[in-house]
């Protein structure tokens, strides 16, 4: 399948992570050059190395996507290397124990700073890159953005209060930005979101796997019992959905949230 990405330039924010990293690698396989932005330069470089070893073009950039000067610096580096940007994937974010209720942490005791931190990592880290790269799309009258939200943003999950709220904000922002860009700049600028279900990554492992035994936690067992397909998703399965939304195959799709969750959000538990 040819997605039409040859000679396109893609910025993948959070590209050192599991889902965004796999999306970066798949985009490169389809011919795009990749700017991998990540808070960890080492993680960004690992993904960039994978791309280059496979024959692609990549640039690793250290970037705190929630901070405008850091994003602007990353964009300057990207433009110096590749000249422009055609595609944007916002995949930064994740959950943290400090904003997750547990036997050791009641909702009433979560520090307000923990909410600030998780909203910066999951919401601001989407908005700020959209501002910076979106300006280029407005000038070019063309571009495609995919924001990585979560089923937690559509259907709040127990315990992860900050993460659920932040992802709900990402989902709402995606819809708002899709209308704003199409009505004010060009209908050829599309903005969509993915809502992945449960994919086992380093960011959620503390919730799903017992660190002492390596066995699924009680929550892990509960999740699998509520996924009709009976398993966690794979990063590659989320990446393929991202490629569809970024491509011209989705030319009449904007302001949408595509759920990739093995049926989790469709299942009432009975």
- Degrees to nearest 5, angle at CA 154 with 257 and 186: 30
Catalytic position from the list 3, 163, 185, 232:
163
Cα dist from 233 to 50, 206, 260, whole Å: 22, 17, 8
Instruction: Read off the tokens for 252.
Output: 């009449």
CA 66, CA 172: separation in Å to the nearest integer?
Answer: 18
CA 261, CA 240: separation in Å to the nearest integer?
Answer: 13
CA 157, CA 43: separation in Å to the nearest integer?
Answer: 28
Q: What residues does 211 pair with on adjacent strands?
A: none
Name residue, tokens 């290397």. 81
Active site residue 163: yes
Q: Are the CB atoms for 106 and 156 separated by under 8 Å?
A: no
Name residue, tokens 């990585």. 148
Catalytic residues, by residue number, are 163
């Amino acid at each position: 399948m040819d997605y039409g990405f040859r000679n396109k330039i893609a910025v993948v924010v959070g590209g050192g992570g599991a889902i965004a990293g796999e999306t970066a690698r798949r985009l490169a396989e389809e011919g795009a050059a990749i700017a991998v932005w990540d808070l960890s330069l080492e993680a960004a470089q690992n993904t960039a190395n994978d791309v280059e070893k496979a024959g692609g073009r990549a640039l690793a950039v250290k970037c705190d996507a929630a901070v405008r000067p850091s994003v602007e610096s990353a964009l300057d580096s990207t433009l110096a290397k590749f000249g422009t940007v055609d595609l944007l994937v916002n995949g930064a974010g994740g959950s943290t124990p400090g904003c997750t209720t547990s036997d050791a942490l009641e909702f009433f005791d979560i520090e307000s700073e923990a909410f600030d931190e998780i909203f910066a990592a999951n919401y601001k880290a989407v908005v700020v890159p959209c501002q910076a790269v979106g300006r280029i799309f407005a000038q070019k009258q063309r571009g495609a953005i995919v924001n990585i939200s979560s089923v937690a943003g559509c259907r709040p999950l127990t315990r992860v209060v900050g993460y659920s709220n932040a992802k709900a904000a990402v989902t709402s922002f995606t819809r708002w930005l899709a209308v704003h860009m199409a009505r004010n700049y060009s209908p050829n600028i599309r903005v969509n979101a993915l809502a992945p279900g449960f994919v086992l990554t380093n960011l959620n492992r503390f919730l799903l796997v017992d660190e002492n035994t390596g066995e699924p936690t009680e929550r892990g067992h509960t999740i699998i019992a509520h996924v009709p397909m009976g398993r966690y998703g794979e990063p590659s399965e989320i990446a393929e959905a991202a490629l569809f939304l970024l491509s011209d195959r989705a030319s009449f799709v904007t302001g949408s949230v595509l759920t990739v969750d093995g049926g989790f959000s469709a299942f009432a538990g009975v």
